[in-house]
Amino acid sequence: MLKTAFFMLLSLAIAIGLGGGSVWYALQAQSGVGAISIGQWTAFPEIGTQDADPYSKARVAREGVLALGKAEGLSFIAERDAAGDELQRQCDYRIEGSFPTARFWTLYAADQSLGVVDTGKPRLAALQSYQVLRQPDNSVIIAVGNRPAPGNWLLTEGFGRMYFVLTFYDTPIASSTGLSDVSLPRIVKAGCNA
């Protein structure tokens, strides 16, 4: 009798633990159901629509974010650089390449909650399309790190994991047909402060 009760409680604990763990993983992962990936960048194009999958709806509810509708724009998140390494706040990066057509875009370094990385200088921790310097071919090179750099510079400070969030507003890539020929900038590690 006691042996049966023990095995039943053990089975219940394993089921609840594995079930809760799988839900946590599904909500934390920047890939999976409904995700599209372009280079290092991942987006959930259906997240702000009626067609969003249950995991995307749960992610929006848990994070308390205001999701953009399909006609409003699309957010991409990068958690790894071009070499496949996790993005770290103590490292310097270069974000280089062309940006797709959009009326406006923003780029910022984010912490685990996808909020702007706390640097004490919030206006240096984000960039937007109207303030960047462009190359002759209309591409953009952005230096990311804790030391000022000439040209476009995005401030990051501290240690630990970070993400880049690139949001396009009023853009044709938000439609399902607009994603086929999109290329997004590369994220290249330039070095790390040990």
* Cα(186)–Cα(80) distance, integer angstroms: 10
Return the number of other C-beta atoms located less than 10 Å from residue 3's C-beta.
7
* pLDDT for position 115: 72
Do 18 and 39 have their domain in common? no
pTM over 0.85? The answer is no
Q: Which residue has the higher pLDDT, 2 or 47?
A: 2
* pLDDT tens-digit series, residues 122-177: 667 789 889 899 999 988 999 999 888 899 999 888 888 999 999 888 877 766 55
Do 91 and 20 have their domain in common? no
Q: Which domain holds residue 55?
A: 35-192
Percent of the chain past pLDDT 70, that is, above it, reads 72
* pLDDT for position 94: 95
* Cα(93)–Cα(65) distance, integer angstroms: 27
Q: For the chain, how many structural domains are there in total?
A: 2
* pLDDT for position 29: 54
Do 134 and 74 have their domain in common? yes
* pLDDT for position 68: 66
